[in-house]
Chains A and B, each alone.
Chain A
Amino acid sequence: MSTMTAQATQVYEVYIKATPQQIWDAITKPEFTEKYFYGSRITVSEDEYLSLDGKGDTLVRGKVLEIDAPHRLVTGWRALYDPETATEEDSRVTWEIEPQDGGYSKLRVVHDQLEGAPKTALSVAGGWSYVLSGLKTLLETGKPLAG
């Protein structure tokens, strides 16, 4: 049996019927993230991206590398929810939001620099699709994904 591996650069795109500002709020404010991002409460300050679980334990932490609201956010990514990923090197997540015709915006998430974090790469490979699908559903219907 071969060992599962995941890509060191992962690209995810989704079109959402929302303004860039609505999407920005949904990815940087805890009252939104807890509805679609595995219940996590995410805050973004000038220098830190921080994701906490309901008990206040840190799930993900990263340095803010670039911030240009509501269009671009680049942060480091250290997954602390699993002891095996916690010891890996920091990777990087880039969020890009571009307005489109018809009230839509395009959201692109690039998770890269995962060469030194193969377990994190595997852990997030299925997760991003789930998270972005939930984000789209929340913004377009006002409700979290069922189940």
Chain B
Amino acid sequence: MLPDVDDDAIFKALADPTRRHLLDRLFERDGRTLTELESELEMTRFGVMKHLRVLEDAGLVATRRQGREKLHYLNPVPIRLIHDRWIDKYTEHRVAALADLKNELEETA
């Protein structure tokens, strides 16, 4: 399966608090090894590996080899694609209306 071709894989990967926590850790600082990530989580190495694998399959985590180490990076592009595909479509008008209201209120204040 191709990673972010499949929206389901992204939503499923995000539908788990541990995996969201892993993404937050990578957002703070990425390019980390499994061992580094494991040391910050109350979880077995196998558990962290399993969750990272789901994130990788969904395209949310990208990896690079550096010597013998495998470094994990947060790949934000699939989340952006969901934003552009889903969020923009439904929020555009409402957000625009709120922005107009805010401007109007601030001008008259």
Contacts and interface: CB of A to CB of B under 8 A. Distances in A.
A15 B77 CA distance: 10
Categorize the interface residue count of chain A: 20 to 34
A129 B5 contact: no
Contacts of B81: 14, 133, 136
Q: Is the interface of B mostly helix, strand, loop or mixed?
A: helix
Contact of A132 (B31, B73, B77, B92): B77
Contact of B76 (A12, A100, A137): A12
A12 B75 contact: yes
Contacts, number: 57
B98 interface: no
B84 A137 contact: yes
Which of B5, B73, B77, B79 has the most chain A CB atoms inside 10 A of its CB? B77
A102 B73 contact: no
Closest 9 A/B residue pairs (Cβ): A129-B80, A11-B73, A11-B62, A133-B80, A14-B77, A129-B76, A13-B62, A13-B75, A15-B2
Contact of B77 (A7, A9, A12, A104): A12
B34 to A, nearest CB: 16
A125 to B, nearest CB: 9
A11 B64 contact: yes
Interface residues of B, number: 22
Interface string A74-113: 0000000000000000000000000011101000101000
A104 B75 contact: no
Contacts of A129: 76-77, 79-80
Interface string B54-78: 0000010010100000000101111
Given A136-B81, A145-B84, A15 B3 contact: yes
Given A11-B64, A133-B81, 12 more contacts: A7-B29, A7-B30, A9-B31, A12-B75, A12-B76, A13-B75, A14-B59, A101-B2, A102-B2, A129-B76, A133-B80, A146-B88
